[in-house]
Amino acid sequence: MMRIKNAYILVIILLLGSNLISAQKNSDLAFEYYRTSQFKKAAKEFSKLYKKEPNKIYYQHLLKSYLKTSNYAKAESIVLKHLKKASIKAPIKVDLGFIYTAWGKDKKAKATNDEIIDNLSPYAGQILKVGKKFFQLKNYEYAEKTYLKGRKLTHGDYPFSFEMAEVHEANQNLDKMVAELLFVLTYGDDYMDGVKNALNTHLASDVNGNKRKRVKSQLTKIVQKRSDQKSFLELLIWMFNEEKNYSSAFIYAKSLDKRFSEDGGRIMTIARQAAKNEQYESAAECFDYVIKNKKGSYYYRTARVELATMLKEKIDANPLRSKNDILVLEKSYQQTLSEVGINNYSIKLVRSYAELLAFYLNKTDEAIELLKKGIDLPRLNPVEKAHCQIILGDIFVYTDNVWEAALVYGKVNQNFKNDPVGFKAKLKVATAYYYTGNFAWAKTQLDVLKAATTKLIANDALQLSVLISDNLGMDTNTVALQMYAKADLYFYQGNNDSALFKLHQLIGSFPEHLSLLDDAYFLKAKIMENNGDWDNAIQAYLKVIGYDDLLVDDALIKLGTIYELVIKDKVKAAEYYEKIILNFPASVLVVEARKRYRKLKKNS
């Protein structure tokens, strides 16, 4: 008896399995016909499938197959049949209106669509489904009517503004689209991110900037009329920030700051963005505003510190910096430190000021004393202390106390073996040994650093390691490398005449030493830059490019910088940046080159 029962179950399982396999084959066949545009055959197969299982997927594909073959009678029939089974009918009735339009029965289509609008449910979710269905079928008129009726039915609980904006965009009515996105902000600041995302999506295709101009024009008019509503001003500031127009962003942010008695945080954000994008004048204007107007604010001291630090970055980046620029910055540091003091909070300012004193003003004793005060601060963050020690080591190298510098770097490396500041110190130790001619030991340390997590450090380590390995071997090669290392040290110490003498000696004594000549000319070019001899700097960098070795991308970005900032030939500058982008995609300089290239092209 048990065997008969088991056999019976087995037969049922086999039959069910067979039916499932058959159903799957029919389904695959229907979708294949649809995919290959054989819509009559697809309609036949989907009709069978829908009869057995009237689900949404089979319904949609069957309806589309009928419409593709202009079989409107059967399309109408299947929609009416599906309507009877549906719990929510309005979205399906939209299909019916679409069929009548395609069929040429315009009156019937209008009557059907009007009926949908007249009988809309007061629930936002169902209204959204109907509006979306009209939108998908490109019936933008009734999509808009759906959302407008929805606003009334929901008594303003949900604005439907994003959906309305989508409809207006599809109709290429930019002004109405923007008006809807701005209208939603009257419902509250919670919609701000949604508005920004929608604008970003829409403006992504704004090649000539016309769309952005019209958006800002509308927004500016609303700001003037509704100056009491913060969100419109915030959106306008955001737009200026997005296009990196920080001076305009500051004007409106200042207005908000005054009107609502803010603490200056908004303006500090703009200042930092401007500084990051090398718009130093706009950044300084923002920092100055906070310094003058927010003495009781948390941001006051921050603004003082960050202004001085930014002005140092500006001088570092400016090949045309003057002695007066440096003296003005020194005064700014003095005023700031006298007010905020030397403490854990101002330690970055201390480091930056020490660099200015030592490397720009040659006040090394004053710089060392300042750094030691910072290093001796109680409860100073260990990493901040390590950074101060590294700069102290740099000053020792600058004053020709290379071995003392190596000891300082080595101590930092020991304390932070697996930290970026430790990697930086290790690179400095290796460089110090390279300066003194201990090339084998330096190379050992550099080879370890080539795997450092910090890409810039790894790249610097690789360059110096290759320089050493390419020139170790025969005695004459070692002599040439010693001469180059000495010139490199002289350059670091600001002794340009001695550095040039050594380089000329090297080039004259080893004219066939190809592995070292590109480095020699690169160093010569940097010295020419320091001396303001731009023509000879350019010629030396072009020599480097001619050797087609490891420093080509470095020479290209240097040439781009000279042509952009000194010669003011933006076309030529862009050409050099573009060469890095196209020919050196793996270079650590490619990000900077791309940023500068885009900036030049945008402003051309």
- Could you please report the per-residue DSSP string of 537-573? HHHHHHHHHHHTSTTHHHHHHHHHHIIIIIS--HHHH
Q: How far apart are CA 421 and CA 377, in angstroms?
A: 19
Kindly report the CA angle at 519 between 513 and 522, in degrees rounded to 5?
135
pLDDT at position 25, please? 66
- In b/e form, how buried is each residue of 178-203, taking b as 16+ CB within 10 angstroms? bbbbbbbbeeeeebeeebbebbeebe
Q: For the chain, what is the mean pLDDT? A: 90
Sign of CA dihedral 234, 236, 237, 238: positive
Which residues does 207 contact at the CB level (< 8 Å), separation at least 6?
Answer: none
The shares of helix, strand and coil residues in the chain, as percent rounded to the nearest 5, are 80, 0, 20
Residues 308, 332: contact at Cβ < 8 Å? yes
Number of Cβ atoms within 10 Å of the Cβ of 602: 10
pLDDT at position 578, please? 96
Which residues does 271 contact at the CB level (< 8 Å), separation at least 6?
Answer: 282, 283, 286, 287, 290, 303, 306
Q: What is the DSSP string of 316-360?
A: HH-TT--HHHHHHHHHHHHHHHHHH-SSGGGHHHHHHHHHIIIII
pLDDT at position 351, please? 96
| Tokens 């690169």 found at | 522
pLDDT at position 24, please? 61
pLDDT at position 186, please? 86
User: What is the set of domains in the chain, with CATH numbers?
Assistant: 468-603 (1.25.40.10)
Low-confidence ranges of the chain (pLDDT < 70): 1-26, 452-453, 473-477, 604
pLDDT at position 209, please? 80
pLDDT at position 4, please? 52
pLDDT at position 453, please? 64
What letter does residue 419 receive in the DSSP assignment? S
Q: How far apart are CA 164 and CA 145, in angstroms?
A: 10
The enclosing H or E element of 166 equals: helix 161-170
Residues 152, 132: contact at Cβ < 8 Å? no
pLDDT at position 233, please? 92
What letter does residue 87 receive in the DSSP assignment? S
Of residues 133, 144, 147, 53, the one with CA closest to residue 88: 133
- Residues 71-129 have pLDDT tens digits of 999 999 999 999 988 888 899 999 999 999 999 999 999 999 999 999 999 999 999 99
Residues 575, 581: contact at Cβ < 8 Å? no
Which residue type does 65 have?
S
Share of the chain above pLDDT 70, in %: 94
Number of Cβ atoms within 10 Å of the Cβ of 153: 16
**Token pair of 483 as six digits:** 């001469």
Three-state SS sequence of 375-400: HCCCCCCHHHHHHHHHHHHHHHHHCC
What letter does residue 227 receive in the DSSP assignment? T
pLDDT at position 11, please? 42
pLDDT at position 258, please? 92
Which residues does 132 contact at the CB level (< 8 Å), separation at least 6?
Answer: 143, 163
